Chain A
Amino acid sequence: MAAVIFDGVTKRYGDVVAVDDLDLTIDHGEFMVLLGPSGCGKTTALRMIAGLEEISDGVLQIGDRVVNHVDPRDRDVAMVFQSYALYPHMTVSKNIESPLITRPTVVEGSDQPRKLTKAERAERIAEAARMLDLAPYLDRKPAALSGGQRQRVALARAVVSRPAVYLMDEPLSNLDAKLRAQTRAELVDLHQRFGTTIVYVTHDQIEAMTMATRIAIMSQGKLQQVGTPRDVYDAPANLFVAQFIGTPPMNTAPGKVSGDAVVVGESRFRFAGRHDDGRDVVVGVRPEHLTIGGDGAVKGVVRHVEWLGYEALVTCEVGADAANRFTLRQDASATPPAVGDTVPLQVAPERVHVFDAASTERLGG
């Protein structure tokens, strides 16, 4: 059974279309990450699931219920806000208890949700506190907590009621890099332990790649691709996805199909499938799939070399066009080429991505 289904869902603010005809099925127990650049409509999509935003068009389902007009509190969802939205005048313990007070909650051994007793609530708070290491802070007010602790309180408040769906809006963005990495692991752990559905919004592709079971990539309100991290990395559906996922981003250059290769200036990128001769395309190669060497079908003029300690990034100009800059990753121990040298480049044909120049869609084949 699907946990959340967007069926042609659109959200308009006046003339602004924040989410445009979104079709997306989020399966039960899935860790779905909505990924995309700022302003692409991720938060809006999430808030529509929560019921905090009216739906302009289309049908939204949670479980097997259409929820377009269901009250937020009756949707059985919990949300972690980017700002955490903790109640500053309540202790940590009261904050965590908050969703249990009025909302009917599912209890083990019975499938009728009901209100919890005081003792049951205390037990739930203790359990959530234990799980998130908050026991020592239960009597503090949020102001007396660090950012990481606040974030854990927000998570604890979400998990106590064991909702059908967790909604998270960039919950890690206020943490420092180290804490972020640690919390990422905790979230994955949490997801595995409870097996609940998580819809997670971020613009950070590392977060998306490391945590998601599937990623939904959005741009300008439109869904671009849905798939496992591997799918979207290995077979990006269009140029936007290709360039959005991966650091450094995928190298691309416009060219023409000729036989079994895309011709860019003097260089020929051989591909694995079949494409129509003479077609205008964009060729794409990830930096880690490009190496120096080979038969010289592709040639590049070295423009600069960045040595990062664990590797070096070598940027070359391909096809005698300054706009076609291809970056490749080189082992840190290898001797980097000198700037200005012309070097042969090679890439395995099955690693060459071909996109239609007009539609920017991936050309299979």
Chain B
Amino acid sequence: MAERETPARASRLAETGMAALFLAPSIILFALFFFYPFEQLVLRGLYRNNAQGTNLRYVGWSQYKDVLTGDDFRAGLVHSLQYVLYTVPAGLILGTLLAVAAHRKLRGIRIFQTIFSSTVATSVAVASVLFYVLLNSQTGVLKVDWLNDPNLALFGVSLSSIWQNLGLSFIIVLAGLQTVPTELMEAATLDGYGPVRRFFRITLPLISPVLLFLTVVLVIFALQAFAQIELISRGGPAGHSETLVYKIFQHQTPDQLGVGSVMAVGLFVVTFIVTLAQFLLLDRRVHYGD
């Protein structure tokens, strides 16, 4: 008997075709706006050029090695990780505290919910100017001189990020709290749990997926922070608040493009690894309902 397509095989083929069809738009978009530019970036890191941006010279992977093990990259990386450390735990804790406070069914709480959420609608520029004014050593409200202190400049800048992320953290955690059934809380109350135990034994595990998501988002925000630094400290004093992104920005001059590209690839890899690590490490502890 001659070989023929069985109906099952035909339908499987049709299914694959459909799958490709549905995937095509996102694949095309990804290719156009991510894979292609990324490839260009990686390749750019293999070249060096003169101040005019001409006279492109191939230097190969050695440039990757030099830049990624260099002091500049390391300093940027350390500052970036510091920025993560300053902003992420504070953002998580403050956002959760505000959300827990606003989750209580109190009269007039809506006003506070609106106020807490409002930082989401503030632009980075506005937040930065606000904190620039607050932190100004002469005219500043806080009367501190952090921006000129090598050890405190980055921390000072991070305050604006913490403040600005608060709205998002608040909204996300509040949404998480609202998915926890009231009856569970009541059951815990009858089981003899006080408010603190109830929070740590019931609420926290149940909103852990939301907190994981928030952590990942805040880490990425921290690693990408740029405008705040540019507007508040300009990387200073003496480069003490230059994060990786800030350094990449500084290397956008025509003669430094190659080095900047390598750093950008480095930042991508760092972000990727940190995010992946978060998922792998935390996912095991996170409870995703049923």
Contact = CB atoms under 8 A, between A and B. Distances in A.
Contacts, number: 60
Interface stretch (B2-10, B117-125, B187-195): B187-195
B181 A141 contact: no
A99 B206 CA distance: 19
Interface string B220-255: 000000000000000000000000000000000000
Chain B contact surface mostly:
helix
A88 B289 contact: yes
B287 interface: yes
Interface string A111-122: 000000000000
B193 A83 contact: no
A98 B202 CA distance: 11
B181 A83 contact: yes
A73 interface: yes
Contact of A77 (B187, B188, B190, B197): B190
Interface in B258-290: 287, 289-290
A102 B188 CA distance: 11
Interface in A21-77: 50-52, 72-73, 77
B191 A52 contact: no
Interface string B89-109: 000000000000000000000
A143 B187 CA distance: 17
Interface residues of A, number: 23
B186 interface: yes
Contacts of B205: 89
A142 interface: yes
**Range of interface residues on B (Cβ < 8 Å):** 10 to 19
Contacts of A101: 191-192
Interface in A76-101: 77-79, 81, 83, 85, 87-89, 98-99, 101
B271 to A, nearest CB: 30
The 3 A-B residue pairs with the shortest CB-CB distance, nearest first, are: A143-B290, A103-B192, A89-B287
21 contacts: A50-B186, A51-B190, A72-B186, A81-B183, A81-B186, A85-B183, A85-B184, A87-B187, A87-B188, A88-B206, A88-B287, A88-B289, A88-B290, A98-B191, A99-B190, A99-B191, A102-B192, A102-B194, A143-B290, A157-B187, A157-B191
